Chain A
Amino acid sequence: KNQVEQSPQSLIILEGKNCTLQCNYTVSPFSNLRWYKQDTGRGPVSLTIMTFSENTKSNGRYTATLDADTKQSSLHITASQLSDSASYICVVSAKGNNRLAFGKGNQVVVIP
């Protein structure tokens, strides 16, 4: 069964600090990997989309990496802000279908 696992489940960081979130997946055959930000009670918002050939992609203070060989991805948040408090969800798409496999998310809380 295609699965997406994320770690840590939750973390608290001080405003201004950096953090890195991890994602491991078993989806195969792999098509693309996405990171979404989901504020509590809101719909997910896309941060990055990466295909097999892409190793790194940035969106402002968010930088995603992908190692398709080891089936791992990370999302790095630089100089965190209070508005970064949210769940960050790793989502993987398999070739040949239009469904997405979601991870449970990394719950990030940024404190002043």
Chain B
Amino acid sequence: EPEVTQTPSHQVTQMGQEVILRCVPISNHLYFYWYRQILGQKVEFLVSFYNNEISEKSEIFDDQFSVERPDGSNFTLKIRSTKLEDSAMYFCASSVQGVKNTGELFFGEGSRLTVL
């Protein structure tokens, strides 16, 4: 069964360092998302991506963050100059249709980021 895959599963970094989280969405999906979940908190929307550009982003997704689809398969989230409060589980997700049209969202297993 097709699935969303994410790497790395866990990354530990020093405050101020840059981090790139990678995702391979399901191949025929057109919408891609990043969400994050701070330990013990609810899942929060970061950004949605469609047709090779950001379609929506939340208040969390400031200039520190960027997304890219460098080729036909990968979807990356870059965090520049990480802060302690960036420590969280980051989930990539993809869907055929947008979620506003009841598109079913498939999540990856997550990348746990720990900033020291």
The chain A residues found within 8 Å of chain B, CB to CB, are: 31-32, 34, 41-46, 49, 51, 89, 91, 93-105
Contacts and interface: CB of A to CB of B under 8 A. Distances in A.
Contacts of A44: 43, 91, 107
Contact of B110 (A41, A91, A98, A100): A41
The 3 A-B pairs of least Cβ separation, nearest first, read A43-B107, A102-B43, A99-B45
A46 B105 contact: yes
A96 B99 CA distance: 10
Nearest to A39: B109
Given A46-B105, A99-B56, A100-B45, A94 B110 contact: no
Given A97-B56, A99-B45, A42 B110 contact: yes
B58 interface: yes
Contacts of B106: 46
Interface residues of B, number: 27
Contacts, number: 65
A49 B43 contact: no
A61 B34 CA distance: 30
A51 B97 CA distance: 15
Contacts of A96: 100
Nearest to B91: A43
Given A43-B109, A49-B104, A98 B42 contact: no
User: Among the interface residues B33, B43, B55, which one has the most CB atoms of the partner chain A within 10 A?
Assistant: B43
User: Among the interface residues A44, A89, A95, A104, which one has the most CB atoms of the partner chain B within 10 A?
Assistant: A44
Contacts of B104: 46, 49
B108 interface: yes
B82 interface: no
Interface string B92-116: 0100001110101111111000000
Contacts of A94: 100
